[in-house]
A and B are shown apart, each in its own frame.
Chain A
């Protein structure tokens, strides 16, 4: 329950209320801010270099062809399987979920 003393204290505080004018304080803070661009630049460079390397490797090993053949084989095997292989499907599902989770976490980190 709020007592009278709380009102008394608030009154005392309001009598000594301090509104401090800026007087160039914000300019002083801005002029002393540390440089942050470099950190971002370094991170961007790492991302760009690793993207270029992965694209080159992908082209060199004929990645498109490999990826498509792999995918076709996978579906063929799944279609013509007589007895469903649960372990195989579970492993496939886990990999599928992980592949979704990684970009989701990365995006969340960047947005929020």
Chain B
């Protein structure tokens, strides 16, 4: 039987229960590491360090977590902050959409996985995060606004712009 997040969080805050925190880490590590893997364009060397930094920060500030908000949203917000700090120190290269060779519609399906990672590179960091959170992680616009601290309107605009760039990258005609 899996315990809900709220009980595990209470155990960590009240009893400093490391086992409860380990369950939380196991529950969310895949989500967090895959998000960071996308944002760092597959830089595996740095992903685990950033993910570990995020979880340690969660542990440190868990007593300030507001139970009214979803834990997952709060966790993603901390991870995004950790990523932003890393990004500001080491600018990640963004590709110019105009210089890219766009995907041929006839190309085989096996290249899709590489394509999406490649496709993300044409987006700026604000567009990348909203596209990943919305389409891959299934967050609502409002939740994305909380995670990224962007106004709701900006989130919607970034999703729209991101979609337009991806359409161009995939040479999509709908």
Contacts and interface: CB of A to CB of B under 8 A. Distances in A.
A12 B56 contact: no
A25 B112 contact: no
Instruction: State the majority secondary structure of interface residues on B.
Output: helix
Contacts of A4: 174
B56 A32 contact: yes
A33 B56 contact: yes
A112 B56 contact: no
User: How many of chain B's residues touch chain A, expressed as a range?
Assistant: 35 or more
Given A4-B174, A15-B116, A20-B29, A28 B52 contact: yes
B15 to A, nearest CB: 11
Contacts of B22: 26-27, 29-30
Given A20-B30, A26-B25, A34 B116 contact: no
Nearest to A8: B172
Instruction: State the majority secondary structure of interface residues on A.
Output: helix
Contact of B16 (A22, A26, A28, A36): A36
A30 B33 contact: no
Contact of A18 (B18, B37, B67, B114): B37
A3 B67 contact: no
Interface in A1-45: 3-6, 8-10, 12-13, 15-16, 18-22, 25-30, 32-34, 36-37, 40
B170 A8 contact: yes
Contacts of B172: 5, 8
B51 A25 contact: yes
Interface of B: 16, 18, 21-22, 25-26, 29-30, 33-34, 37-38, 48, 51-52, 55-56, 59-60, 67, 109, 112-117, 119, 131, 135-136, 163, 166-167, 170, 172, 174
Contacts of A28: 48, 52
B113 A16 contact: yes
A5 B167 CA distance: 8
